[in-house]
Structure 1
């Protein structure tokens, strides 16, 4: 009876999650709405004499904007790798039996989980040095996008720490007891029995946090990082900063990020339903 109730609750969870309610038709309508709005903006724009239209200007600067979008992706990949590496370690420290290890890990996790991303970005950008001087006399310049990438990794690291802690604690205690009865040490139990089960439970929320991280990277443009939004703003300024450029350029950025994030949301939903119903 308890097992049936548990399966019902998991089914409700799978049907009630945000990613579970996303359907590909919704994405299609959103894309059509974006491009429809783009067409309306083009129709309402009034090109100045001897000046290209907003759409033609967008096409002209498209490679420059896509180059900035490539930096967005690079920042998201590196930040997610760093966040995953340190987040897993932080999550394991949170379940440590030693209070001296567990409490600092808990403090770091909740500090970065409950701090605004923009505040963390400003703090890291201004606290990290602009260059590192080597003993031999040389210097290493630290680009702004590297500092921004590190800043974005911190809140994601804290949330991955909570994902790891929650996934480990969700494993029934009987599995720990069974492993102990077979003379497994705590480390062996964690490595060979508990963590393999946690991986598939952690993948959907891990993908959700990657999607949020990728969507957060345009905040780096506030501090001068030339990613997609920064390059789009530079392109509009170079083309004359005409007001009718705003809607086409920013709607294109919306479409660009949506086209990248939406498939991740669909895959997250698929994996979430697969793993929820498999348990």
Structure 2
């Protein structure tokens, strides 16, 4: 009934189009200034955490492997939204106040680090033991073998699942709106609160998320194709 009223009334239709067109630029700014930078920074920091965590888990040293295992278990066993709330709303109760954007970066980075560490750990363990033995036979130590032989091979195995993690992170950044980060979905919420066109503005935001993720999926496909050709050679 609501949709039929909109499409049958030229004035309402014109008003709706004006709202959608006028909101497009603020939504794009929210994506360019917050959503995309938040995704990139969190992913880069998260991958760094993931590599360290994966190496700690396979090190065989309980002082390293046990804390890494606990960290992964806690992050993977609790909702991302709860983690963001603890960082932004919980820590100030003990005197540690963090601004919205850094809070989001910390939360997303820790989350990516836990999940990506399992991908990287599996990729490292999938490398044939003969690669280690070959590296040691030519005089490399553990660090040299890891840096020059093992990690380059593991990276090719882990790129496809890590690409999926990156695309998922783009969508997860919408949760940052709940800790006052003015990213794309937060912009949609603010405009919808003024115009009361929640359905159309949220749909517009959803379409923009889809466009971004679709573009990233195309890049992922090309990257995986190149990796397949490289491995085949």
TM-score after normalising by structure 2: 0.86
Where does residue 22 of structure 2 map in the other structure? 60
- Cα 1:119/1:210, change in 2 over 3 Å: same
The answer to whether the aligner puts 1:100 opposite 2:56 as a matched pair is no
Partner residue in 2 for 1:143 = 99
2:149 is the alignment partner of 1:193: yes
Higher Rg of the two aligned structures: 1
Deviation at 1:61, TM superposition (A): 2.6
1:67-112 per-position Cα deviation (integer Å, ceiling 9, x unaligned):
2222111111111111011111111111113121111112212221
Query: Which residue of 203, 217, 223 corresponds with 1:271?
Result: 223
Structure 1 Cα separation of the partners of residues 29 and 161 of structure 2: 29
Measure how far apart 1:60 and its partner are.
1.9
C-alpha distance in 1 between matches for 2:9 and 2:151: 57
Task: Measure the CA separation in 1 of the matches of 2:118 and 2:4.
Answer: 45
Q: Alignment partner for residue 184 of structure 1, among 140, 161, 185?
A: 140
Shift of 1:44: 5.8
Unpaired runs of at least 5, structure 1: 1-38, 134-140
Q: Does the C-alpha gap of structure 1 residues 159 and 276 become closer, same or farther in structure 2, counting only changes over 3 Å?
A: farther
Question: Could you say what secondary structure the match of 1:92 adopts?
Answer: helix
Question: In the alignment, what sits opposite 1:31?
Answer: none
Q: What pairs with 1:177-256 in structure 2 (closer than 5 Å)?
A: 177-239=133-195, 241=196, 245-256=197-208
Aligned length: 228
Aligned to 1:29: none
Structure 2 unaligned regions, length at least 5: none
CA shift, 1:40, in A, is: 7.8
Distance change in 2, residues 1:93/1:47 (3 Å): same
Deviations 1:17-66 (A, max 9, x none): xxxxxxxxxxxxxxxxxxxxxx9895267856xx9612211212322222
CA distance in 2, matches of 1:167, 1:40: 54
Write out aligned runs for 1:39-188 (5 A): 43=7, 47=11, 53-70=15-32, 71-129=34-92, 142-188=98-144
| Cα distance in 1 for residues equivalent to 2:90 and 2:21 | 38
- Answer 1 or 2: higher relative contact order, Cα 8 Å, separation at least 6: 1
